[in-house]
């Protein structure tokens, strides 16, 4: 029997980040020498005190369902984090804990978007935003930022993209895939535009907050524009900053009404996120952050190395970033100079085949002509990968 799949699922593209990572794993399992620079996850182990807290939770029998939106202890830890790191005040009924940042975003989109609504997404964007928006029946409106604008959406671009159907604006800083951060002044300029459109909701994906090293301390739109507090939902999680990708804990802070709607949605879908992971997250948020600072120092060293070496490559241009663990080189020059290669998808394929280096094509992030390189891997791997890339591009 042929199963007739839903139109929603048929319209959905597979996640390119996950697909390239899986392909590299498969090739390696088949004995090929492939260095994977595709995975968006820290290569560090989860900090010891976090793992201990999880073990303790198991031993104490904290292995049953919890309330749908997160244990009170975790909500308090999240509230404490927002106060300490962001100067933002929230009450428990504004906090919602979900099964990863991805799940939190899904909940936000499903709680507010209707078919026919528009959601503005600056590109390069993280692969899943447009598909997640499309699943709700709403339309992603892509604003192309480009390397020339430092990959940041300007106030003018935002203004031009807004229509009477705009329901939501998606922001992400530090950005996946570019690593670029908006400045406080950038956010204030966007905030001035949004002040003229009071019905638009703002979602800010701060998942890379802890991994940043710019001249300015971390800032998001609601920190820069406190007037937007009532219509901004902050999305964050444990995965990147605490090397806890597999633990699947994300959270949101935002308007009570929206949080209540997401709680209803989650109550009818996944129920609570994993109990043990919630207890581990309490330890991570309330514990010593030296482990995070140590990781960030290493990411920054790798960033400097990778950006410098990429810029030496034939037909490659790469901006310095202020956070995350991705480089997003413009490879249009390389594409032009290699015979038989017409786009970034073919170039990524060529590099995996000829150089044994796996990266995600920029097209997946709404930016054809670029590649995303994750440097969440050892310096040794990076050196080897960059030697191979330099060779592959020079020999073209
Ligand atoms: N967010 C990470 C990435 O961009 C993890 C994979 C995913 O969920 O997309 O690679």
pLDDT digits (tens, 9 = 90+) for 304-347: 999 999 999 889 999 999 999 999 999 999 999 999 999 999 99
| 15 Cα nearest atom in ligand 1 | 9
Look over the chain and give the mean of its residue pLDDT values, rounded to a whole number.
96
Mean pLDDT to the nearest integer, 175-183:
98
Six-digit token string for 301: 């060293």
- Asked whether the predicted pLDDT for residue 59 surpasses 90, the reply is yes
Tell which residue, 340, 388, 346, 394, has the closest CA to residue 371.
346
Q: Percent of the chain beyond pLDDT 90?
A: 93
Six-digit token string for 388: 């191979």
Residue 18 alpha carbon to ligand 1 centre in Å: 7
| 128 Cα nearest atom in ligand 1 | 9
* Residue 16 pLDDT: 87
Residue 41 alpha carbon to ligand 1 centre in Å: 7
Residue 299 alpha carbon to ligand 1 centre in Å: 17
Tens digit of pLDDT for each residue in 226-247? 999 999 999 999 999 999 999 9
Which residue do the tokens 């202890």 mark?
Answer: 73
Which residue do the tokens 């499903």 mark?
Answer: 110
pLDDT category, 39, cuts 50, 70, 90? confident
DSSP 372-392: EEE--S-HHHHHHHHHHHHHH
SS3 content of the chain, % helix, strand, coil (to 5): 45, 15, 40
CA atoms within 13 A on the CB side of 326: 31
Going by the DSSP 8-state scheme, the letter that residue 274 receives in this structure is P
Six-digit token string for 365: 């992030």
Calculated CA dihedral for residues 337, 343, 348, 351, nearest 10 degrees: -20
CB atoms within 10 A of CB 99: 22
* Residue 197 pLDDT: 98
Ligand 1, residues 127, 235, 374: which to mutate, most atoms within 8 A of Cβ?
A: 127
Q: How deeply is 92 buried, as exposed, middle or buried, from its count of CB atoms within 10 A (0-12, 13-18, 19+)?
A: middle
* CA-closest residue to ligand 1 atom 1: 40
pLDDT category, 135, cuts 50, 70, 90? very high
**Ligand 1 site residues, Cβ closer than 6 angstroms:** 15, 17-18, 40-41, 102, 126-128, 176
Residue 137 alpha carbon to ligand 1 centre in Å: 23
Mean pLDDT to the nearest integer, 358-381:
97
* Residue 17 pLDDT: 87
* Residue 396 pLDDT: 52
- Burial pattern 140-160, b for ≥16 Cβ within 10 A else e, equals bbbbebebeeebbbbbebbee
Bond from prior residue into 174 cis (ω within 30 degrees of 0): yes
pLDDT category, 253, cuts 50, 70, 90? very high
């Amino acid at each position: 029997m042929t199963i007739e799949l839903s139109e929603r699922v048929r319209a959905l593209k597979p996640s390119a980040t996950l697909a390239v990572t899986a392909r590299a794993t498969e090739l390696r399992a088949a004995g090929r020498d492939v260095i994977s620079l595709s995975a968006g996850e820290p290569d560090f182990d989860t900090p010891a005190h976090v793992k201990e807290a999880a073990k303790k939770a198991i031993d104490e029998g904290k292995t049953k369902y919890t309330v749908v939106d997160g244990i009170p202890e975790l909500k308090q830890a999240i509230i404490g984090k927002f106060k300490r790191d962001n100067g933002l005040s929230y009450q428990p009924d504004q906090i919602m804990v979900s099964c990863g940042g991805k799940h939190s975003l899904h909940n936000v989109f499903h709680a507010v978007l209707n078919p026919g609504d528009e959601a503005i997404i600056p590109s390069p964007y993280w692969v899943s935003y447009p598909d997640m928006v499309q699943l709700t029946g709403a339309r992603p409106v892509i604003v192309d930022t480009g390397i020339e604008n430092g990959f940041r959406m300007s106030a003018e671009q935002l203004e031009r993209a807004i229509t009477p159907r705009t329901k939501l604006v998606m922001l992400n800083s530090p950005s996946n895939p570019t690593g670029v951060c908006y400045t406080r002044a950038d956010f204030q300029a966007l905030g001035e535009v949004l002040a003229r459109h009071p019905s638009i909701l703002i979602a800010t994906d701060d998942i890379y907050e802890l991994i940043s090293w710019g001249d300015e301390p971390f800032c998001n739109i609601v920190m820069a524009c406190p007037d937007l507090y009532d219509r901004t939902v902050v999305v964050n999680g444990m995965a990147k900053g605490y090397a806890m990708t597999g633990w699947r804990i994300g959270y949101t802070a935002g308007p009570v009404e929206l949080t209540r709607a997401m709680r209803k949605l989650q109550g009818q879908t996944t129920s609570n996120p994993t109990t043990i992971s919630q207890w581990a997250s309490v330890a991570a948020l309330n514990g010593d952050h030296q482990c995070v600072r140590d990781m960030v120092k290493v990411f920054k060293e790798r960033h400097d190395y990778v950006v410098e070496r990429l810029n030496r490559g034939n037909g490659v241009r790469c901006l310095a970033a202020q956070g995350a663990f991705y480089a997003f080189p413009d490879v249009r020059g390389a594409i032009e100079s290699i015979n038989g290669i017409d786009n970034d998808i073919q170039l990524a394929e060529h590099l995996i085949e000829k150089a044994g280096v796996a990266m995600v094509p920029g097209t997946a992030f709404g930016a054809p002509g670029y590649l995303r390189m994750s440097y969440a891997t050892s310096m040794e791997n990076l050196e080897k990968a960059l030697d191979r890339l330099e060779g592959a591009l020079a020999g073209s």
